[in-house]
């Protein structure tokens, strides 16, 4: 699937479930040149638990690459992203707010602000590249970020990370 915008209006893919306990799977998809977000999860108030799986997705040249914002929901959200790219976006590559998430084997490079913004909820980060972003490779503004210490984070304008991530346990 390809969601290519004109850069003037809209999102590539917006997900706003209103009822039930949906499990959302997005695979082999690209979303580029959209005015707001390439992929945008923003449920309304009252939404129940949601599971989100994103694999082999490219979200480039948007304002936000992949934006998972569960702030409007009273339910919980869990997101697992792997093998994906969010680069050349105006602000963030990957943005997580009020969600339990993992980001594995993914790339967030050359974004205008931060590669990854962990703004709330736990995030497990492994085997990912966060390079050449305008601000931080990893911005931690809320929640706990656990790193498997096998990421490549360098060349970012404000530094590699805004705060020291916790060490994740390997099993």
* pLDDT tens, residue by residue, 110-140: 999 999 999 999 999 999 999 999 999 999 9
DSSP three-state, residue 162: coil
Would the pLDDT of 158 be above 90?
A: yes
| CB count in 10 Å sphere of residue 119 | 19
Which two three-digit tokens encode residue 169? 């346990």
Give backbone dihedrals phi and psi of 163, rounded to 5 degrees, phi first.
-150, 160
171 inside domain: no
pLDDT at 46: 75
168 inside domain: no
170 inside domain: no
* pLDDT tens, residue by residue, 58-113: 999 999 999 999 998 888 899 999 999 999 999 999 999 999 999 999 999 999 99
58 inside domain: yes
DSSP 157: S
159 inside domain: yes
Domain count for the chain, please give it: 1
Domain that holds residue 70: 2-163
């Amino acid at each position: 699937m390809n969601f290519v915008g004109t850069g003037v209006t809209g999102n590539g893919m917006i997900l706003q479930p209103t009822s039930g306990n949906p499990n959302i799977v997005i695979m082999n998809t690209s979303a580029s040149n959209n005015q707001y977000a390439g992929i945008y999860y923003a449920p309304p108030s009252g939404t129940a638990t949601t599971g989100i799986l994103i694999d082999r997705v490219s979200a480039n040249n948007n304002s936000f690459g992949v934006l998972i914002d569960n702030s409007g929901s009273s339910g919980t959200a869990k997101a697992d992203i792997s093998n994906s790219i969010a680069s050349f976006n105006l602000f963030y590559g990957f943005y997580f707010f009020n969600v339990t998430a993992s980001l594995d084997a993914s790339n967030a490079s050359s974004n205008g602000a931060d590669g990854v913004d962990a703004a709330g909820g736990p995030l497990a980060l492994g085997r990912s590249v966060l390079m050449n972003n305008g601000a931080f490779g990893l911005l931690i503004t809320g929640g706990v970020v656990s790193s498997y210490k096998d990421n490549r984070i360098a060349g970012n304008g404000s530094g590699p990370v805004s705060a020291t991530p916790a060490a994740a346990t390997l099993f």
